Amino acid sequence: MAAWYQQSGLANAAILAAFGQPVSYQQGAGAPFTVIGILDMRTDEQRQPDTVYARLFVALSGFPVPPDHGDEVTIDGALYTVFEVLNDPAGGCWLSIREKT
């Protein structure tokens, strides 16, 4: 099974390199830093009027501390808050985010 996770991790890295974009990430009161992520605007999250929901795929290796609820992400000038973190065993992570208004 270890080989599967290793191959999946390599696939994650290749996908992020091909399709990722730099985003600004801030954890708590710490200084913002840049990570590479893939933005997916298609979500199954419950929608509310005037709020944008999305998901962001990132590699956990790009974080000094694992991502958490309440962290903030700036993508193309829009500010989002992380409300759910779903890690995969190959070192990838889906962040459910909603736009801060």
How many Cα atoms within 13 Å fall on the side-chain side of residue 26? Answer: 12
pLDDT of residue 13: 84
Class level of CATH domain 2-99: mainly beta
Per domain, the residue ranges of the chain are 2-99
Instruction: Output the pTM of the full model.
Output: 0.86
pLDDT of residue 12: 82
For range 74-79, the mean pLDDT: 95
Report pLDDT digits (tens) over 9-35.
778 888 999 999 999 999 999 999 999
Binned at pLDDT 50, 70 and 90, residue 74 comes out as very high
Give, in order, the Cα–Cα distances in Å from 15 to each of 18, 81, 96.
5, 24, 19
E strand map for the chain: 21-26, 33-40, 53-59, 72-75, 78-87, 92-99
For range 66-79, the mean pLDDT: 96
